[in-house]
Chain A
Amino acid sequence: DVKVTQSSRYLVKRTGEKVFLECVQDMDHENMFWYRQDPGLGLRLIYFSYDVKMKEKGDIPEGYSVSREKKERFSLILESASTNQTSMYLCASSLPPYRAGRNTIYFGEGSWLTVV
Protein backbone atom coordinates (compact mmCIF):
# COMPACT_ATOMS: atom_id res chain seq x y z
CA ASP A 1 0.00 0.00 0.00
CA VAL A 2 1.06 3.52 -0.71
CA LYS A 3 1.96 5.39 2.42
CA VAL A 4 2.12 9.14 2.74
CA THR A 5 3.31 10.13 6.19
CA GLN A 6 2.99 13.56 7.71
CA SER A 7 5.31 13.77 10.67
CA SER A 8 3.20 16.06 12.86
CA ARG A 9 -0.53 15.53 13.33
CA TYR A 10 -1.12 18.46 15.68
CA LEU A 11 0.96 21.60 16.09
CA VAL A 12 0.48 24.84 17.98
CA LYS A 13 2.74 27.70 16.95
CA ARG A 14 3.00 31.38 17.78
CA THR A 15 2.47 34.21 15.35
CA GLY A 16 5.70 35.04 13.55
CA GLU A 17 7.30 31.64 14.08
CA LYS A 18 8.81 29.71 11.20
CA VAL A 19 6.94 26.45 10.76
CA PHE A 20 8.00 23.31 8.92
CA LEU A 21 5.52 20.63 7.90
CA GLU A 22 7.18 17.46 6.70
CA CYS A 23 5.82 14.81 4.37
CA VAL A 24 7.36 11.53 3.24
CA GLN A 25 6.02 9.02 0.71
CA ASP A 26 7.31 5.50 0.21
CA MET A 27 6.14 4.71 -3.34
CA ASP A 28 8.75 6.50 -5.43
CA HIS A 29 6.14 8.95 -6.73
CA GLU A 30 7.36 11.85 -8.82
CA ASN A 31 4.53 14.21 -7.90
CA MET A 32 3.91 15.60 -4.45
CA PHE A 33 1.36 18.16 -3.32
CA TRP A 34 0.45 20.34 -0.38
CA TYR A 35 -3.21 21.21 0.09
CA ARG A 36 -4.92 23.30 2.69
CA GLN A 37 -8.39 22.29 3.91
CA ASP A 38 -10.81 24.73 5.52
CA PRO A 39 -14.50 24.22 6.38
CA GLY A 40 -16.73 25.28 3.52
CA LEU A 41 -13.79 25.87 1.20
CA GLY A 42 -12.75 22.30 0.43
CA LEU A 43 -9.17 21.59 -0.54
CA ARG A 44 -7.03 24.28 -2.07
CA LEU A 45 -3.66 23.59 -3.64
CA ILE A 46 -0.75 25.51 -2.14
CA TYR A 47 2.26 24.11 -4.00
CA PHE A 48 3.21 20.99 -5.84
CA SER A 49 6.37 19.40 -7.13
CA TYR A 50 6.88 17.06 -10.05
CA ASP A 51 10.54 16.28 -9.47
CA VAL A 52 13.36 16.84 -7.03
CA LYS A 53 14.10 20.55 -6.64
CA MET A 54 11.18 21.43 -8.92
CA LYS A 55 8.15 23.27 -7.63
CA GLU A 56 5.06 24.95 -9.00
CA LYS A 57 2.70 27.38 -7.33
CA GLY A 58 -0.81 26.23 -6.77
CA ASP A 59 -3.85 28.39 -6.15
CA ILE A 60 -2.88 29.92 -2.79
CA PRO A 61 0.93 30.05 -2.49
CA GLU A 62 1.15 33.38 -0.65
CA GLY A 63 2.80 33.06 2.74
CA TYR A 64 4.17 29.59 1.99
CA SER A 65 7.25 28.05 0.44
CA VAL A 66 8.29 24.46 -0.20
CA SER A 67 11.39 22.35 -0.41
CA ARG A 68 12.02 19.08 -2.20
CA GLU A 69 15.62 17.99 -1.80
CA LYS A 70 14.86 14.27 -2.02
CA LYS A 71 12.26 12.47 -4.10
CA GLU A 72 10.44 11.01 -1.12
CA ARG A 73 10.24 14.17 0.98
CA PHE A 74 8.28 17.37 0.44
CA SER A 75 8.30 20.10 3.05
CA LEU A 76 5.91 23.00 3.47
CA ILE A 77 7.35 26.09 5.12
CA LEU A 78 5.50 28.95 6.71
CA GLU A 79 8.15 31.68 6.89
CA SER A 80 6.26 33.76 9.45
CA ALA A 81 3.12 32.06 10.70
CA SER A 82 -0.05 34.09 10.99
CA THR A 83 -3.39 33.29 12.59
CA ASN A 84 -5.09 33.05 9.20
CA GLN A 85 -2.86 30.09 8.44
CA THR A 86 -4.58 28.06 11.15
CA SER A 87 -5.87 25.11 9.15
CA MET A 88 -5.59 21.44 8.26
CA TYR A 89 -2.72 20.75 5.85
CA LEU A 90 -2.78 17.68 3.65
CA CYS A 91 0.17 16.24 1.79
CA ALA A 92 -0.35 13.99 -1.21
CA SER A 93 1.60 12.14 -3.87
CA SER A 94 0.99 10.56 -7.26
CA LEU A 95 2.62 9.14 -10.34
CA PRO A 96 3.17 11.47 -13.30
CA PRO A 97 0.81 11.44 -16.30
CA TYR A 98 3.13 9.36 -18.46
CA ARG A 99 3.30 6.41 -16.06
CA ALA A 100 0.83 3.55 -15.71
CA GLY A 101 -1.28 3.73 -12.58
CA ARG A 102 -1.48 7.48 -12.72
CA ASN A 103 -4.55 9.56 -11.96
CA THR A 104 -4.77 8.54 -8.33
CA ILE A 105 -3.56 10.94 -5.70
CA TYR A 106 -2.74 9.42 -2.31
CA PHE A 107 -3.15 11.54 0.79
CA GLY A 108 -1.52 11.65 4.18
CA GLU A 109 -3.55 11.86 7.38
CA GLY A 110 -3.22 15.62 7.67
CA SER A 111 -1.52 18.07 10.00
CA TRP A 112 -3.66 20.33 12.14
CA LEU A 113 -1.87 23.63 12.63
CA THR A 114 -3.06 26.22 15.10
CA VAL A 115 -1.34 29.61 15.11
CA VAL A 116 -1.93 31.66 18.24
Chain B
Amino acid sequence: AQSVTQLGSHVSVSEGALVLLRCNYSSSVPPYLFWYVQYPNQGLQLLLKYTSAATLVKGINGFEAEFKKSETSFHLTKPSAHMSDAAEYFCAVRGTFQGGSEKLVFGKGTKLTVNP
Protein backbone atom coordinates (compact mmCIF):
# COMPACT_ATOMS: atom_id res chain seq x y z
CA ALA B 1 0.00 0.00 0.00
CA GLN B 2 1.07 3.56 -0.63
CA SER B 3 1.55 6.10 2.13
CA VAL B 4 2.95 9.56 2.70
CA THR B 5 4.55 11.09 5.78
CA GLN B 6 4.92 14.84 6.08
CA LEU B 7 7.45 15.79 8.71
CA GLY B 8 6.26 18.74 10.74
CA SER B 9 2.63 19.74 10.95
CA HIS B 10 3.67 23.40 11.32
CA VAL B 11 6.61 25.23 9.76
CA SER B 12 7.38 28.87 10.37
CA VAL B 13 9.83 30.94 8.30
CA SER B 14 10.69 34.58 7.88
CA GLU B 15 9.84 36.43 4.72
CA GLY B 16 12.73 35.98 2.27
CA ALA B 17 13.98 32.81 3.94
CA LEU B 18 14.20 29.36 2.40
CA VAL B 19 11.09 27.23 2.55
CA LEU B 20 11.61 23.49 3.03
CA LEU B 21 8.64 21.18 3.52
CA ARG B 22 9.46 17.52 3.95
CA CYS B 23 7.67 14.55 2.47
CA ASN B 24 8.61 10.90 2.55
CA TYR B 25 6.65 8.25 0.72
CA SER B 26 6.17 4.53 0.63
CA SER B 27 5.05 2.87 -2.56
CA SER B 28 5.10 -0.67 -3.89
CA VAL B 29 5.08 0.60 -7.48
CA PRO B 30 7.04 3.39 -9.19
CA PRO B 31 5.55 6.43 -7.52
CA TYR B 32 3.75 9.40 -8.94
CA LEU B 33 4.06 12.20 -6.40
CA PHE B 34 2.23 15.48 -5.98
CA TRP B 35 2.27 18.63 -3.90
CA TYR B 36 -0.97 20.53 -3.39
CA VAL B 37 -1.51 23.88 -1.66
CA GLN B 38 -4.61 24.99 0.19
CA TYR B 39 -5.14 28.66 0.96
CA PRO B 40 -7.54 29.54 3.78
CA ASN B 41 -11.16 28.66 3.03
CA GLN B 42 -10.32 27.26 -0.38
CA GLY B 43 -9.94 23.88 -2.06
CA LEU B 44 -6.65 22.30 -3.06
CA GLN B 45 -4.59 23.54 -5.96
CA LEU B 46 -1.88 21.50 -7.68
CA LEU B 47 1.60 22.97 -7.16
CA LEU B 48 3.63 20.36 -9.00
CA LYS B 49 3.84 16.68 -9.80
CA TYR B 50 6.45 14.02 -10.47
CA THR B 51 5.48 11.32 -12.97
CA SER B 52 8.80 9.57 -13.67
CA ALA B 53 10.36 12.17 -15.96
CA ALA B 54 12.90 14.68 -14.58
CA THR B 55 13.66 14.22 -10.88
CA LEU B 56 13.69 17.97 -10.24
CA VAL B 57 10.21 19.27 -10.79
CA LYS B 58 9.31 22.94 -11.05
CA GLY B 59 5.88 24.12 -10.11
CA ILE B 60 3.89 27.29 -9.82
CA ASN B 61 4.74 30.27 -7.60
CA GLY B 62 8.48 29.49 -7.58
CA PHE B 63 8.20 26.13 -5.83
CA GLU B 64 10.15 23.06 -6.82
CA ALA B 65 10.60 19.54 -5.51
CA GLU B 66 13.23 16.88 -6.00
CA PHE B 67 12.42 13.19 -6.24
CA LYS B 68 15.08 11.10 -4.47
CA LYS B 69 14.42 7.42 -4.83
CA SER B 70 17.23 6.36 -2.50
CA GLU B 71 15.78 8.48 0.28
CA THR B 72 12.12 7.89 -0.68
CA SER B 73 11.66 11.63 -0.42
CA PHE B 74 9.95 14.40 -2.35
CA HIS B 75 10.69 17.58 -0.41
CA LEU B 76 9.21 20.89 -1.48
CA THR B 77 11.40 24.00 -1.56
CA LYS B 78 11.24 27.66 -2.42
CA PRO B 79 14.35 29.85 -2.20
CA SER B 80 12.64 32.93 -0.80
CA ALA B 81 9.37 32.89 1.11
CA HIS B 82 6.68 35.44 0.44
CA MET B 83 3.83 36.39 2.73
CA SER B 84 1.41 35.03 0.15
CA ASP B 85 2.92 31.53 0.57
CA ALA B 86 1.23 31.14 3.94
CA ALA B 87 -1.06 28.15 3.45
CA GLU B 88 -1.35 24.45 4.14
CA TYR B 89 0.63 22.11 1.91
CA PHE B 90 -0.20 18.50 1.17
CA CYS B 91 2.03 15.84 -0.29
CA ALA B 92 0.32 12.94 -2.07
CA VAL B 93 1.27 9.69 -3.76
CA ARG B 94 -0.65 7.77 -6.38
CA GLY B 95 -2.51 5.00 -4.65
CA THR B 96 -3.47 1.57 -5.83
CA PHE B 97 -5.49 1.11 -9.00
CA GLN B 98 -9.06 0.44 -7.99
CA GLY B 99 -11.97 0.16 -10.34
CA GLY B 100 -11.21 2.51 -13.21
CA SER B 101 -9.23 5.01 -11.21
CA GLU B 102 -5.93 5.69 -9.53
CA LYS B 103 -6.71 7.49 -6.31
CA LEU B 104 -4.34 9.73 -4.39
CA VAL B 105 -3.18 9.07 -0.85
CA PHE B 106 -2.51 12.31 1.03
CA GLY B 107 -0.24 13.22 3.88
CA LYS B 108 -1.64 15.02 6.91
CA GLY B 109 -0.50 18.40 5.76
CA THR B 110 2.02 21.04 6.81
CA LYS B 111 0.84 24.50 7.71
CA LEU B 112 3.33 27.14 6.60
CA THR B 113 3.47 30.47 8.42
CA VAL B 114 5.51 33.32 6.96
CA ASN B 115 6.60 36.01 9.42
CA PRO B 116 7.32 39.57 8.28
Contacts of B102 in A (CB 8 A): 97, 102-103
Q: Given contacts A40-B9, A103-B32, A109-B42, is CB(A54)–CB(B100) below 8 Å?
A: yes
Q: Are A109 and B106 in contact (CB under 8 A)?
A: no
Q: Are A90 and B100 in contact (CB under 8 A)?
A: no
A51 in the interface, Cβ–Cβ < 8 Å?
A: yes
Q: Are B101 and A48 in contact (CB under 8 A)?
A: yes
Chain B nearest Cβ from A6, distance in angstroms: 8
Contacts of A104 in B (CB 8 A): 46, 49
Q: Are A42 and B103 in contact (CB under 8 A)?
A: no
A50 in the interface, Cβ–Cβ < 8 Å?
A: yes
CA–CA, A31 to B97, complex, Å? Answer: 12
Chain B nearest Cβ from A58, distance in angstroms: 7
Q: Are B45 and A107 in contact (CB under 8 A)?
A: yes
Contacts of A102 in B (CB 8 A): 102
Q: Are B43 and A109 in contact (CB under 8 A)?
A: yes
Chain B nearest Cβ from A75, distance in angstroms: 17
Q: Are B43 and A41 in contact (CB under 8 A)?
A: no
A30 in the interface, Cβ–Cβ < 8 Å?
A: yes
With beta carbons under 8 angstroms apart, the residue of A4, A30, A108 that contacts B100 is A30
Q: Are A50 and B101 in contact (CB under 8 A)?
A: yes
CA–CA, A33 to B107, complex, Å? Answer: 17
Chain A contact-residue range equals: 20 to 34
Q: Are A42 and B43 in contact (CB under 8 A)?
A: no
Q: Given contacts A103-B32, A104-B49, is CB(A50)–CB(B99) below 8 Å?
A: yes
CA–CA, A110 to B41, complex, Å? Answer: 8
Contacts of A110 in B (CB 8 A): 41-43
CA–CA, A102 to B94, complex, Å? Answer: 12
Chain A nearest Cβ from B44, distance in angstroms: 4
Residues 36-78 of B at the A interface (beta carbon under 8 Å): 36, 41-46, 49, 51
Q: Which residue of A lies closest to B6 (CB)?
A: A42
Q: Are B49 and A108 in contact (CB under 8 A)?
A: no
Pick 12 A–B contacts, CB within 8 A, sort by A: A42-B90, A42-B106, A42-B109, A43-B90, A54-B100, A56-B98, A90-B44, A97-B97, A97-B100, A97-B101, A102-B102, A107-B44
